[in-house]
Structure 1
Amino acid sequence: MRQQLFGHHLDDLLKPTKLLKRAHREAENVLNAHVGMKTDVVEHDDDYTVTAELPGFDKDAITVKYADEWLTIRAHRSQDDRNDDGRVLHRERMDADFTRKFHLTNVVREEIQAHYQAGLLTVTLPKTVADSEGKIEIQ
């Protein structure tokens, strides 16, 4: 028997929560893409190249991981709250924590390279060499 709350089945009341959580995740991805971490993903015959704009981030504050066919890029920046005993009159620089995930298949994990220079993170993910059209060589 399904539980009821205020005359409604509990399962039915939880559906909007799931929808709101999904909408929040999708909105967060859009916000990260357009405000925080603009990213290009390009596929070549032998690799993928992912380039992310991360101006103002220290290299040590950027994490790149590849697991289960997902490339995850995370960048975190904390603004120093010290103001040298002065009074802050205006503040636009905020803490930032951005995460982007990309599903990239057939990657040779051991050969992934990442470089960060002048606010641009470039990740190169070599692809495994696939047989042409899956043909099997007859010996």
Structure 2
Amino acid sequence: MKCNSITEQLEKIIFSFLMLFFCSLVISNVMTIYEQRQIVIDINNSYFVRAEKGSVSIKIQGDKLYQDLEIVLNGEVYKRFENNFTVTVEVKNYDVIQINGSMYEEEIYIKIVETSNNINTEKLRMNIKINGNTETLAVIKI
């Protein structure tokens, strides 16, 4: 009788462990399939790999050039505006774009004028004002 009870309990423990293991395998496979669907898009039975890079065009508003105004990408100077009102930045997922205007004491208005189609624009700051400081313009989500 006692041996039978121990066997039943052991059987329940093993069964519970196997069910937990099976559920974790199913969840793992679902997550893997979801990640693969994020990378490959099926359009009319043609497969396209989703781009890992994108571009953001940033423009100085107004009619004055700020040649030393810096675009900072992930903490490092990426580019200066120099003789341009608009600069295009090549970005990857989770890149941080900042504008360093610490060399100027006046208000400068910056605007994102264009993004590539694969960039989620919901959380981008489309317009910022710089007044002798560094401002975060965007955290990129592709």
TM-score (norm 1): 0.32
Q: Which structure is larger by alpha-carbon Rg, 1 or 2?
A: 2
TM-score (norm 2): 0.31
Which protein is richer in strand relative to its size? 2
